[in-house]
Chain A
Amino acid sequence: MMQQAGVFIEETDGRVKDSVLGVISYLRQKDVACCAFVISGSPGGHAEQLGAYGVHRIYAIEFQEEAQARNPQFKARAVAEAMQAAGVTILFGQTSPTGRDLLPRLAALFDAPLVMDCTEVDLEDLTVSTSAYSGKTEALYRVRGEYLFFGMRPNHHLKKPAAANPELIPFHAKHRDANGTAFIGKTDTADQGRDLNEAKVIISGGRGLKNGENFQLLFDCARELEAAVGASRVAVDEGWVPYTMQVGQTGLKVNPRLYIACGISGSVQHFAGMKTAGLIIAVNTDPKAPMVKNADYYLLGDLFEIIPKLTQKLKARAVGKKTA
């Protein structure tokens, strides 16, 4: 019989995140039937998009009150109920802010194993690969339990379409006990930057940027590259950019196809957050910087000269393409 697994759907701007589609494609290739769990205001449970990637069933979870969808405890309970209704005992999510809250709550509810930052999962012999010691080592675990939970490393597996015609099942959450947790409100930050977890390209700045205003150079370049902007801890500690932009051991672990490090020396702690990037390019004045020594390409030069030039040439190129 075909293996079955659940996937928790995360969305951005009303669309399923590419990284989640990557997880679905990964499971499809392993001949695992995917059952999607969606908590969404958008009607239709993303059926069209999920169908295009081979999802068989979609549980569209609805709450009695809007506030319940905002309560992490209700959310976890609802997904647990939906899993039981669907007969799903294995759930995949992501190592993202959402997954970091939801997956451990579910694992705790079921007293089940959970491995975060997974790269490979073998559902036959129940082994999982993940990172340990800030990416300096890779660990292989065997998990045992009636229920199993996995938080995948975002963007490790890329999406590949595979058409299916999913069955859409509306699911009404019944659980009413908030377990002492009440949602009060949400404050959005002023910056509308791209999600570093999802980004295919990241351009990051460190002490070499010298102040917060200069980060605009990176934001300008990022617009041309459709990139997200990251930072080293120094840039955050100096108050130049918010903590949410910090890449590294005590910040975000990112996994883009391309990482451009500008004015970042490349400390062990910074590498801990970006060493899995597909291609690393260093822009630095110091030929001895560890970032230069551990990149795929390095450009020895002043970022204040290089980056604006890059932005300008990319702009000219885009205009050239349009008129061509």
Chain B
Amino acid sequence: MRIYVCVKQVPDTAASIRVIEGKRIDERMTFIINPYDEHCLTEAAKIRDARPGSEVIAVSLGGPSARDILRSALAMGAERSLHIQSERPHDAMETARILKAAIDLDGKPDLIFTGRESIDSCGMQTMFRLGALLQIPVLSNAVDVDIQEGEAFVSTEAELGSRLQYSLSLPCIIGAGRGLNTPKYPTFPDIMKARKKEIRTLDLQDLRFEPSASSMELLELRTVAEDRTPRPIEGDPDTAVEELIRILEQEARII
């Protein structure tokens, strides 16, 4: 089986974000692999290990930091990887086209994993667009995946924690949710081995795709002010709870 995993570099979740020129963020910070993509890699490795002759290929679109992320992906079990070099931002329509073109150039997928969303832009749509372009089925927010002959049985998480079960014909695309597995982080030998694995570089010019007639353009990025002024609720527990109830009633107006 040939399994592609789309991975994305995102700013470290604890990092503070500095906006430059009202349009970009200051990228002098630590980037991490999108947390949902770690579930993808762990699941892909598990499926591969159960099927001799299978391989996992990590794919990433981005600048130099995408290479670091691909190294992490290789350490988490991918055999090899594709780095589509680009320094400029791409909207969701274009991203899906680029990923499709890169995968087409590399080989025929049996399975493609993406995270259910990337935690920076939270577009939540790349997998569906990729599916439409490849004309293969897609499910996102998967919490259980079982690959059988020509078919994937997938459970997704829906409203109020209920679970929906589906079967998808292969090839298909699965968006990993957090309940899918516990990510298997690399050991030191994994990291050493990853250094020798291949990162194939693709240039955007080498990829062929029809541009979309639609577009999404970022006009402005603003830091959100943290403007709460904390006030204490004081007194012994009884007094404090009375005051709390007053706040619920008169300020929050929920009782």
Contacts and interface: CB of A to CB of B under 8 A. Distances in A.
B244 A142 contact: no
Contact of A141 (B138, B216, B233): B216
Nearest to B163: A187
Interface string B243-255: 0110110011111
A195 B238 CA distance: 31
Given A184-B166, A243-B179, A132 B240 contact: no
Contact of B230 (A70, A73, A297): A297
Interface residues of A, number: 97
A243 B178 contact: yes
A51 interface: no
A65 to B, nearest CB: 16
A73 B160 CA distance: 21
Nearest to A269: B13
Nearest to B210: A111
B214 A145 contact: yes
Contacts of A108: 96, 125, 128-129, 131-132
Contacts of B218: 139-141
Contact of B159 (A97, A104, A200): A97
A323 interface: no
Interface string B160-174: 111111111100100
Given A186-B162, A257-B252, A134 B168 contact: no
A151 to B, nearest CB: 8
A305 interface: yes
**Chain B: interface size category:** 35 or more
Contact of B216 (A143, A184, A275, A313): A143
A114 B123 contact: yes
Nearest to A227: B254
A176 interface: no
Interface stretch (B50-58, B66-74, B195-203, B219-227): B219-227
Q: Is the interface of A mostly helix, strand, loop or mixed?
A: mixed
A101 B117 CA distance: 12
Given A111-B132, A294-B226, A295-B228, A189 B164 contact: no
B103 interface: no
B122 A117 contact: yes
A258 interface: yes
B17 A180 contact: no
Contacts of A185: 164-165
Q: Is the interface of B mostly helix, strand, loop or mixed?
A: mixed
A97 B164 CA distance: 12
A261 interface: no
A310 B17 contact: no
Interface in B80-136: 91-93, 96, 116, 119-125, 127-129, 131-132, 135-136
B11 interface: yes
A111 B93 contact: yes
Contacts of B230: 282, 292-298
Given A146-B214, A269-B13, A310-B245, A298 B128 contact: no
A225 interface: yes
A182 B237 CA distance: 56
Contacts of A269: 13-14
Contacts of B254: 200-201, 225-226, 257-258
A244 B157 contact: yes
Contacts of B232: 297-300
6 contacts: A104-B127, A131-B122, A140-B218, A183-B166, A193-B160, A272-B13
Given A95-B124, A113-B91, A181-B167, 16 more contacts: A73-B137, A107-B92, A137-B17, A137-B222, A141-B219, A143-B217, A145-B213, A145-B215, A186-B164, A187-B163, A189-B161, A191-B161, A257-B254, A258-B248, A296-B230, A313-B242
